[in-house]
A and B are shown apart, each in its own frame.
Chain A
């Protein structure tokens, strides 16, 4: 089989206890037989572990945070692209997706392809828009309400029963049992992720997740349901298992079909004791546990790259049930020279 020469750029190299999806995405693509691959890692911080994983990335560049503005980020990508000739770029952070979506035309003009949701798809599934999303697509979602300041906290008791979930617009979720706790989490979250902070009805049940890939035409290219078996104090999955859950896949198909979802997606669901499924979040990207899907037989990162390249991709029809992932930490020994190079030159 002729391999396609591919230069792939990916962000999310922060394989920490709050892991980004970059390294598992790259790992999946590296395992594909379809590509003659060169991987360009794009990092925000000099201590993102993926920078130093030489078997994963061929070259790494530091890029400016999206908060520094679209222009600064795109200029940096332009400079990197003039050297590397990137074919496909996979952004892996919620906080940077909007910037890359907005810059899609510029990226295409540079010869860089992405496979991201549209801005409309991205916006309507926001945590603060979830109730409208639920109504529009006939999906069970918890009640939620964005709050912008301390004075909104008092009125929470008019709309919700305690406990409630207090969530950041991109990350972080805490259970608050009273007004005082909401105030604490509001300060914590707004300082880190900005406003609004979202108050969400607490739905009792088991959290389950689905990773999925939509082709942008209403078809599900792949989907794997999972339950977290081991959760860190940051709420991240440190172990998980694939499930036999046709009702979760049905819900995923329904969402992808009705939104014509384009790109990777993670559904965060709560299954109640009555077996009802509530959508609590839709993350518009591949999650960090994507390698479980690869291990279970669905190489979704590979499929995403093929879709970005405009190739026809046959949907996956099965996966292994009861396949587990167990995450671990590993100390790499790194020469100071490398750290010096990435710190001073912004590339390695």
Chain B
């Protein structure tokens, strides 16, 4: 699942680009990027515990932003970081009078373990997923650029 950290976008913070052939792949690579900003060597995070994440948003872009916020929530609330994801994203059409709107629903099982300083190399903390220069593109592939507040 490809993602890479890029330099020079925001001097003080961390920026990554991620992509995926499917929306689910994009979400997984983006979540891995967020975790990898905090923890080196994701392969050392074992799938010992799981959390079920269900989210809904008006657009795919907002859904991704919310999903990445969840990664940070569990890092602080439960001290857990994830390395494996099973993600399903569905579009739900809902009629509001004459106006037909879509909502996107994510269901995810995220697997990982508690941060263990003896085992995991902690790099830095991520405070928030910003909207600053957040670029979300749907072309041949799904692509995103995200700036993380650290």
A and B co-occur in one complex: no
